[in-house]
């Protein structure tokens, strides 16, 4: 049953990845990437790693993809004309894809040849309780530093996308016109637009 679920979610992840590359609209590609990340989280659940699955959904499929969608919306991307001068990249991408496929089959072959070792169920390495206890006792300082860095990144993003108010924009245009010795055009509403 677990093997069937693994292949189901792996096939879904591959289908979403193909859809990610296929779409020309970046918003559709971002939604396809969310599908890939959720499929990977489901694979983690089948591998008995619920904490990593929850982190995958909360951080990658949730927070980071929301930021990616915001950036796509802020950029206001228009339809691009196809670039004929970069057609050789299709061949390069196909060759690199074949190399990646060969690596995947090699890893699958190497893993299947390794002898299976029994897992000690009494060990609690990787449980959510132990990870949380370590994060908020032994590694509290790095967790706090990462929190401050993320807060700084959010504040920087807000400052970068802040729109310049109209009076400040008029002042910039007026200063530039004064620098060019075009004082008669200062205050002309057509120049500010």
What average pLDDT score do residues 101-123 get? 76
Band (112; pLDDT cuts 50, 70, 90): confident
pTM exceeding 0.75: no
Is the pLDDT assigned to residue 18 strictly greater than 90?
yes
Band (173; pLDDT cuts 50, 70, 90): low
3-state SS string for the chain: CHHHHHHHHHHHHHHHHHHHHHCCCHHHHHHHHHHHHHHHHHHHHHCCCHHHHHHHHHHHHHHHHHHHHHHHHHHCCCCCCCCHHHCHHHHHHHHHHHHHHHHHHHHHHHHHHCCCCCCCCCCCCCCHHHHHHHHCCCCHHHHHHHHHHHHHHHHHHHHHHCCCCHHHHHHHHHHHHHHCCCHHHCCCHHHHC
């Amino acid at each position: 049953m677990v093997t069937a679920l693994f292949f189901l979610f792996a096939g879904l992840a591959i289908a979403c990845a193909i859809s990610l590359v296929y779409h020309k609209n970046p918003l559709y590609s971002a939604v396809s990437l969310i599908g890939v990340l959720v499929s990977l989280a489901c694979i983690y659940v089948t591998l008995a790693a619920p904490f990593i699955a929850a982190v995958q959904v909360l951080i990658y499929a949730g927070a980071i993809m929301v930021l990616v969608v915001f950036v796509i919306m802020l950029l206001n991307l228009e339809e691009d004309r196809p670039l004929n001068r970069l057609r050789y990249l299709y061949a390069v991408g196909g060759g690199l894809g074949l190399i990646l496929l060969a690596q995947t089959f090699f890893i699958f072959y190497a893993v299947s040849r390794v002898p299976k070792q029994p897992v000690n169920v009494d060990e609690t390495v990787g449980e959510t309780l132990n990870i949380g206890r370590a994060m908020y006792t032994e590694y509290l300082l790095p967790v706090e530093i990462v929190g401050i860095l993320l807060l700084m990144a959010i504040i920087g993003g807000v400052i970068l996308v802040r729109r310049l108010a109209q009076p400040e924009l008029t002042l910039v245009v007026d200063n530039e016109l004064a620098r060019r010795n075009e004082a008669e055009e200062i205050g002309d509403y057509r120049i500010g637009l």
